[in-house]
Structure 1
Amino acid sequence: MRRRLALLLWAVSLPLFAADCPDWTAVRAERELAALHARLSAWNAAYRREGTSPVSDAVYDQAGARLDAWRNCFPDLAREARPSTAGPAGELVHPVPQAGLAKLDDGAAVRAWLARRDDVWLQPKVDGVAVTLVYEGGRLVRAISRGDGRRGQDWTDRARGLPAVPERLPASAPERLVLQGELYRRLDDHVQAEAGSAGARGDVVGWLARERLDAARAARIGLFVWGWPDGPSTMAERLAGLEALGFPDTARWSRPVGDLDAVRARREAWYRGPLPFATDGVVLKQGRRPGIAARRAEPPRWAAAWKHPPREALAEVRGVAFPVGRTGRITPLLHLVPVELDGRTLRRVSVGSLERWEALDIRPGDRVVVALAGLTIPRLEGVAWRAAERAAVTPPGPDAHHRLSCWHPRPGCEGQFLARLAWLSGERALDIPGVGPGTWRALVAAGRVDGLLDWLALSPAALVTAEGIGEVRAARLASAFAAARSRPFAAWLAALGPPPGWESGAAPGWSALAARSPAEWRALPGVGAVRAEALGDFFSHPEVRRLAARLAEAGIAGFRPRQR
């Protein structure tokens, strides 16, 4: 059940964008609309061919709403009003259109829908691949993919290989039977709120696309029948009839509901509890509905969907930054036009690595898909579509930063130097209370810290010259800095940021460590050739040796030369 009447969904979402008209020339507007139009058409084509899409329904709906909003902003542009959903020739006509469902946005909409109806039932909105099954004389004669709801691909041969789709029905079956349902991947104790759809729909599509579907995979495809257009007039009779015909899932997962509280409770239970399939919401259905002759290729009035909270959102990239970490690793960061997702406002998202950014080539103006990892951390899912006009972005050179670069805040080194300071005061090194990135940023900006250890000599009078540090805080900082002198040698060594592996066979003082050759490092447990070379480079580096000498002058234990 996919593309739930895109026109209606886009119209519902349109007010979100109506007041957000970009400041574009007519030429650029034509190019930007064409780019989005082409992407939506490609998504539609992929869905018709394969029954799935590279993006979620929520992202598809948001993209469609964005296209309509831009058309309102530039009404003089002449272009096809909607992306094409035309499919390839040779498709089969659905005996009854698969019309999709109208969407209820929230509890208030559900309450209003319920107020006009009685005998309402609730079913999970199974996230799978929609199909129409046609039986004649008790035999399966047609299986048709959803396609555009009117026509779809011939899936008959594929369906006959699925244990969940009976090839023969009991003798009590009607002479001609049309069923509509969802082919889904069987899952074990799937919790939608935690795992999302887990790629279940894509798995089914991939399996059905194989030339030969093996028995093990075929058995993992289930069938949920959600429509019997010419079936009995009441829901109870339809459920009993489907079970007798060999389609038990429908009765098992259908519940009568009387009010919003009942709907909300069951929806929440299905969202957070274990199910044998992925879902993307619930479907409310009136028990009695019109017969097959009254069906149209439009959302029925007797059914509606209330989807689960979206797990993804479409976001516009405002800018691209390239923060450098303590070890010189560059982690591109996308600054976003603020977007709401699951009650949170997302303003930035990490790309993960410079290599991934280069592969995706994300620029300001591009639209990306973002999600929440673990419901808290923004995560980049991919690029939805690219801006027609590509802004110039110049990342740092891949060799500009490394583990032994940026010991001072010189131009281009500010980020890595501040990351070194933040590590030094963090809990894995000196663990200095009340000192974080903001403190270091203020001291560097005031010119008080130009090297990794300059803070050792700062008095309260010098500290108050930094923005945001008053006399009381300056006294506390001076006290914390003084207390750090008594931290053990291992903490001070960690503060300098040596490569991993220095802990193996750690010597009692600096002199012994600095005297080790790469071969001696490599002889230690867990230290390979690459790490041994990195350790040798670190302990022999001139800047590191100067820092060690300064710590020796300051009387820090472990750095003073051993007495003969």
Structure 2
Amino acid sequence: MDIQQTIQKLREELNVHNHNYYVLDTPTISDYEFDQKLKQLEDLEKKYPEYFDENSPTQRVGGTITKNFQTVPHQHRMYSLDNSYSKEDLIDWENRIQKVLGNVPLEYTCELKYDGASISITYENGKLKRAVTRGDGFQGDDVTNNIKTIKSIPLQLNGKDYPEKFDIRGEIILPFAGFEKMNQELIEIGEIPYSNPRNTASGSLKLQDSAEVAKRPLDCLLYFLIGNNLSFNTQFEGLETARKWGFKAPKEAKLAHNLDEVFQYIDYWDTHRHTLPYETDGVVVKVNSFHYQDELGFTAKSPRWAIAYKFKSEQVSTKLVSISYQVGRTGAITPVANLEPVQLAGTVVKRASLHNADQIEKLDIRIGDTVFVEKGGEIIPKIIEVDLSKRPENTEPTKYITHCPECQAELVRSEGEANHYCPNFYGCPPQIIGRIQHFISRKAMDIEGLGGETVALLYNNGLVRNYADLYELTVEQILPLERMAQKSAENLVKGVEKSKSIPFENLLFALGIRFVGETVAKKLAKHYKNIDALSKATMMDLILVDEIGERIAQSVIDFFENQENRIIVERLKSYGVQFEISEKINPNATDKLSGKTFVVSGVFSKFSRDDLKKAIEDNGGKVGSSISAKTDYVVAGENMGPAKLEKANQLKVAIISEDDFIKMINEN
């Protein structure tokens, strides 16, 4: 056997043993024998570098240093899940699904919801190509070198029947045993232990030295395959296939033939979850059929075909020490309960949200009360009840503040609003700092080298009063500030300069117009193309834009009617930021379908659904998610949903085939 064959045979053997040990939990050789084979392979690879392979088992030990993690767009967006907290919520969810599908018999895949760091891993020709964190769902950080150190993730897939390219999604987790061992080692050397497994797993992915990541007992549970030409048609088959290819797809997943079986699964794991070796906080329920998943589609944030059921939150009691008030970037006042520190769901809790004046009044919460605190669907803990049996005598009802705690302006509360607001929009420091912090954030202008604390430092030293001032900062101005070295100052100025190429839709979100979130900003940017057209839009113009209501429209008008905002926008223009949409040029694009709305339903032979939707948009048409009186055409493939067919006939919407659509866009 020649050297290359020997090296390849050793790699294959080690991959099998690795899979047996870390995925199947059934080792077939001793640790000593494994280490000897690995050492033999390392020696051969050093001696014969021409046979180097980035996916060799020897590469799992790490040692690659990553100073800056590259931001990479996801080919397929990573959506978040809608949450439910009761079986009634799940029944409502099924009813919504059946309205779209037409009361068809449904199967569900039930999976445990793992509390870890989301990851998307790309495989090409059976080899691990790239691993990217969830990020904002549209793009994340490339952490490939760190992911390769996790032994349960295959570098080379088993078999030959995998697609040429696909992504697999899952969670990077830190099992309890490994977490406790890491903490014990820290305690022994007098260091502060980690707070909880989830944050420790997430933080591990961004360590610069992959050799350090390799020392951590991370694991990876994978549960969703996405790509073209997959050889299966359901989520449950996907899990079985993933296991066959070598992935650690949890065996706790179960196929449920109806909602009653889903409830049985939830009830079982609500009591048995504490026997698992890692954290789980609920159950994910997915419509099993990929065809029905395609029919259901997505909302702006979540798939309609999946939902997370969250187990009842852990509760603890502690004492309320005081109430403080925070001012947000919009001027909204948030009351915060300061508590005696208490352990809750793996972290020490010292503060909890009290939401608003109505909530304080409803709870009748008073300083000195013993309160019950829980972590529900929110990250921030909340107070859910006061233990009146332990209330001290002679306590006074809490009086909500009347003036801003930062600038002393008298607070206002509009009719129908839950929150009090500080009206001093341009003079209240936390509002100004908050707006600039929002402007530089990742989903907005994504300014590297500039964080929230630095924004506060710049403001407090009189260097910025609004986000336009960032573009006039110099290294010489920044250097005298606390904790600012030459390199940090240079990086900050470079980061600001680089942000001038950020797309218009991000800039529009960054401006901080009230009620204009990420999705609304994209819709407005796409419709108006540039800031000048948007600034001149009337109320009627705005509410005719898809999903823009009166409240958003009025907020946009108010923003551009304000003279100070207009001055800031003009200044930003002069610095060269992107105030018009940069549309990708498609040489085949036309406006043939302009003014027409299409709904896509069924399975197609000449297009993927995504390609069909893109063809509609490339030719000036709009893709709707559901059939309504505004729909012009339904492009129907095989197995079109019966509910959509019925709705189309009822509204007399034209139903066309895939071939009809092709003729439509090819007509002169």
The higher radius of gyration belongs to 1
Which of the pair has the greater relative contact order for Cα pairs under 8 Å at 6+ separation? 1
Which TM class, normalised by the smaller chain length? 0.3 to 0.5
Give me the TM-score of the superposition, normalised by structure 2. Answer: 0.36
Provide the TM-score with structure 1 as the length reference.
0.42
